[in-house]
Amino acid sequence: MALVPCQVLRAAILLSYCSILCNYKAIDMPAHQTYGGSWKFLTFIDLVIQAVFFGICVLTDLSSLLTRGNDSQEQERQLKKLISLRDWMMAVLAFPVGVFVVTMFWSIYIYDRELVYPKLLDNFIPAWLNHGMHTTVLPFVLIEMRTTHHQYPSRSCGLAAVCTFAVGYILWVCWIHHVTGVWVYPLLEHLSPGVKIIFFAAVTVIINIFYLMGEVLNNYIWDTQK
């Protein structure tokens, strides 16, 4: 795809995430007033990740347009740094976390929505906003992968970064329970301590699998093996 259509597409996606975040933060939900606020939910963290990522994408596109035909080596270095940051965020955060949020949310929702998204939330969150947080993330990140080739880090570094994020969030969830006595997700209330450990380990493995899937898909789309 040409640069300008991709540029417009990324800008539109960035605006949509800004709109979703603004509408979500404007909702007066009791959960927002408790310890950790919105930051205790992986969905909100993922929305911030996606917004920052697409913000960097738009900034990279603008920098690329401004430096085109310019012989400044300093500007070229800055552009390369932006591209490296964009690619790293796509590989380690935007794709694996985004795909994880969508697949895990809807899998548990279909099984028993009360375990992850109680019906009470329908009184606060409209359906379009729910899909904005838990559905459109997947097509948006796939569109970005299809329109731009991203250079993945070494597999060991990438997996280490993904594991660090996963373990960090799990520890954050456990800390919130330690402080408040309440689990962030109702699902955890129904698991014994031993099963919780297995569940957290499985979650870490799954998000690593999504990282590998992203790497394979990126290579397949852009045929980097050749």
Residue 113 lies in a domain: yes
Q: What digits encode the pLDDT tens for the residues 30-55?
A: 878 889 899 999 999 999 999 999 99
Segment holding 157, helix H or strand E: helix 155-180
Domain interval for residue 99 = 6-28+35-224
State residue 74's pLDDT score.
76
Q: What is the pLDDT, as a whole number, of residue 213?
A: 96
Compute CA distances 144 → 3, 70, 148, whole Å.
Answer: 12, 26, 6
Could you give the CA distance from residue 188 to residue 181 in angstroms, rounded to a whole number? 12
Question: How much of the chain is helix, strand and coil, in % rounded to 5?
Answer: 80, 0, 20
Q: What is the pLDDT of residue 135?
A: 94
- Give me the residue label for tokens 């417009």: 8
Specify if 1 maps to a domain: no
pTM: 0.92
42 lies in some domain: yes
Whether 112 maps to a domain, the answer reads yes
Residue 48, H or E segment: helix 42-67
Q: How many domains does the chain have?
A: 1
Contacts with 152 (C-beta within 8 Å, 6 or more apart), sequence order: 87, 91, 158, 214, 215, 218
The SS3 of residue 9 is helix
Q: Confirm whether 171 is domain-assigned.
A: yes
Give CA–CA dist 55/17, Å, rounded.
Answer: 10
Q: Residues in the chain with pLDDT < 70?
A: 1-4, 69, 71, 224-226
Asked if the structure places residue 205 within a domain, the reply is yes
